[in-house]
């Protein structure tokens, strides 16, 4: 039997390393206040300001509001949002490939890349944090060409093909907060029901009702990408090594 074991625990944008021996357990200590590394020049005086978006309206009206806002704008979402991730996207793509119509719920609502954990007692849902949007990049152009997935919500950066698709089809990609799945569910999700593919469990398609869910505009309908603009402007000169790489989602695994 070996004297020690190493393990890597992966999450969306960072990893933790732990080492176990017969007598001692070592755990990497993570930073409790990462905000301290944001240079003063990048801090916003009015960081609490945000734009309210009522999702009970037609999606085209919501998109008109988004089109008037620059990338990086914080928005607060209230209303119905479709929840779907990897397997659901693959099934919907297969339907499209076989000549079947795509579901209208992707036409009329924002789609949130996520899957809910088991619902605890007296809660609207279990943990419901965003998954990495990059895994769905290959679907975006095809779906948006069919008038679906025109507003997406996930975590991490998206590839150039998503920026190009949004520019071509008038779509948007919004970013949500990773690493706070339980808090997001507790504070912002008011209800959750299954729409399709219940046999998939958490990978099913869901409809959630949210109130004041925080998000940020990362890609707009004009071909602007927040992360690309940030990198071009600051060139990592004033950020600790690796910070931007982690911020833009290139280390995402889940």
Which of the listed ranges 149-158, 230-239, 240-249 does the model predict with the highest average pLDDT?
A: 149-158
Please list the alpha-helical segments (H only) found in 196-240. Answer: 226-234
Q: What is the pLDDT of residues 44-92, one digit of tens each?
A: 655 557 899 999 999 999 999 999 999 999 999 999 999 999 999 999 9
pLDDT, position 181: 85
Q: What is the pLDDT of residues 164-219, one digit of tens each?
A: 999 999 999 999 988 788 888 889 999 999 999 999 999 999 999 999 999 999 99
pLDDT, position 31: 73
Tokens of 24: 């001692």
Distance CA 189, CA 212 (A): 9
CATH code for 52-234?
Answer: 3.20.130.10
Distant-in-sequence contacts of 226-232, Cβ < 8 A, 24+ apart: 226/71, 226/72, 226/175, 227/157, 228/163, 229/71, 229/72, 230/72
Strands 205-219 and 172-175: antiparallel
Distance CA 156, CA 251 (A): 9
- What is the overall mean pLDDT for the chain? 84
- Which DSSP string do the residues of 175-189 spell out, in sequence order? E--TT-HHHHHHHHE
> Residue 225 to residues 9, 38, 109, 242: CA-CA distances in angstroms?
30, 20, 22, 20
């Amino acid at each position: 039997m070996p004297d020690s074991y190493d393990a890597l625990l992966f999450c969306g944008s960072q990893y933790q390393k732990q080492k176990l021996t017969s007598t001692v357990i070592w755990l990497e200590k993570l930073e409790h206040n990462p905000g301290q590394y944001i240079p003063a020049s990048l801090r916003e005086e009015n960081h609490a300001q945000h734009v309210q978006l009522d999702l009970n309206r037609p999606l085209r009206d919501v998109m008109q509001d988004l089109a008037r806002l620059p990338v990086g704008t914080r928005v607060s979402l209230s209303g119905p949002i479709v929840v779907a991730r990897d397997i659901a996207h693959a099934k919907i793509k297969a339907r499209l490939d076989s000549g079947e119509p795509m579901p209208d719920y992707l036409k009329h609502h924002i789609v949130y890349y996520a899957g809910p954990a088991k619902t605890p007692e007296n809660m609207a849902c279990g943990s419901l944090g965003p998954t990495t949007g990059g895994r769905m990049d290959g679907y975006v152009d095809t779906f948006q060409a069919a008038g679906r997935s025109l507003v997406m919500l996930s975590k991490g950066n998206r590839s150039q093909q998503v920026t190009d698709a949004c520019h071509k089809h008038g779509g948007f990609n919004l970013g949500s907060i990773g690493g706070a799945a339980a808090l997001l569910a507790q504070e912002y999700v008011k209800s959750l029901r299954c729409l399709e593919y219940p046999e998939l469990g958490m990978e099913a398609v869901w409809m959630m009702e949210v109130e004041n869910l925080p998000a940020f505009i990362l890609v707009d309908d004009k071909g602007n990408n927040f992360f690309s603009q940030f990198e071009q402007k600051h060139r990592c000169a004033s950020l600790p090594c690796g910070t931007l790489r982690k911020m833009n989602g290139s280390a995402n695994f889940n």
